[in-house]
């Protein structure tokens, strides 16, 4: 699964799953651009990763920022032929208590950001007559529902459906589009409560393989989907969740309220 001579753009690449993906892509020979709203963190992580990494600040919701990072990537390493749409945001709010701005934020980052980056990336490959691979970050929450995450579940379901349509439309250009759907993974976002106490106990009870995921668990699958080993795969959303999708999810909101009460 060597990716030598290829460059990749990873959104939300300064921490968590995105950083894990960047490390794996580098280990398999690709140059990597970390695109993150935290510019200082993106640059610091890129400096730590070495000369084949570049950190660029910006937002996946800004067309101007996306064009700027693609220009920077092309100047540093050539036109990127791998895009990983990893940037995301999520939190718990019951449907009836969800403010408009929270719904809009989650959809703007998770769903619209995936669309905007895919469109810009795909246009550049089309204009250069280059093949490529896109991997989107969906979630187990796209198909296993839980109370308290209506906005996040809906946005991630949108990512999975968008993946299918984009795969069909971009296939004639030689661009494959797939998605991965992580379950509970050890990231800064999950550290906010999912990786401790009753919440963790419930997750593990619903996970046949019996542990939380690590960013590298997801990263290995992303590298596979970007490589020639997956050249006959497009339009899928692949669960990377230790089997949690088999048993379904517990009620996030009820467990969170129980822990607050105690």
**CATH code 3.40.50.720 for 7-261:** yes
Is 259's pLDDT higher than 80?
Answer: no
Sign of CA dihedral 238, 240, 243, 246: negative
Q: Could you tell me the pLDDT band of residue 169, with boundaries at 50, 70 and 90?
A: very high
- 7-62 confidence digits (pLDDT tens): 999 999 999 999 999 999 999 999 999 999 999 999 999 999 999 999 999 999 99
What amino acid positions are annotated as catalytic residues? 152
- 198-217 confidence digits (pLDDT tens): 889 999 999 999 999 999 99
Is 262's pLDDT higher than 70?
Answer: no
Distance CA 71, CA 232 (A): 30
Residue 234, classed as helix, strand or coil, is coil
* DSSP class per residue in 57-126: E--TT-HHHHHHHHHHHHHHHSS--EEEE-------B-GGG--HHHHHHHIIIIIIHHHHHHHHHHHHHH
Task: Give the helix ranges, DSSP H, for the chain.
Answer: 16-27, 39-49, 63-77, 100-106, 113-128, 150-170, 197-205, 215-226, 244-247, 252-261
Q: Which residue ranges make up each domain of the chain?
A: 7-261
């Amino acid at each position: 699964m060597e990716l030598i001579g290829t460059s990749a753009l990873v959104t939300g690449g300064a921490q968590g799953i995105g950083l894990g993906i960047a490390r794996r892509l580098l280990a398999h020979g690709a140059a990597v651009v970390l695109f993150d709203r935290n510019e200082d963190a993106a640059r610091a992580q890129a400096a730590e990763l070495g000369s084949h990494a570049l950190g660029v600040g910006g937002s996946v919701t800004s067309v101007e920022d996306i064009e700027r990072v693609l220009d920077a990537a092309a100047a540093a390493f050539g036109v990127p032929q791998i895009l990983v749409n990893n940037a995301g945001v999520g939190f718990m709010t019951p449907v009836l208590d969800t403010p408009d701005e929270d719904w809009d934020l989650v959809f703007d980052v998770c769903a619209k950001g995936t669309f905007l980056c895919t469109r810009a990336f795909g246009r550049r490959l089309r204009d250069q007559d280059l093949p490529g691979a896109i991997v989107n970050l969906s979630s187990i929450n796209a198909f296993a529902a839980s109370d308290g995450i209506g906005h996040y579940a809906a946005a991630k379901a949108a990512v999975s459906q968008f993946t299918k349509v984009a795969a069909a439309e971009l296939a004639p250009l030689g661009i494959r589009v797939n998605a991965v759907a992580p379950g509970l993974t050890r990231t800064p976002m999950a550290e906010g409560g999912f990786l401790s106490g009753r919440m963790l106990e419930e997750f593990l009870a619903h996970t046949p393989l019996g542990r939380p995921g690590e960013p590298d668990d997801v990263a290995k699958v992303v590298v596979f989907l970007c490589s020639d080993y997956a050249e006959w795969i497009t339009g899928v959303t692949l669960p990377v969740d230790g089997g949690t999708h088999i048993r379904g999810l517990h009620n996030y909101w009820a467990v969170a309220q129980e822990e607050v009460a105690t």
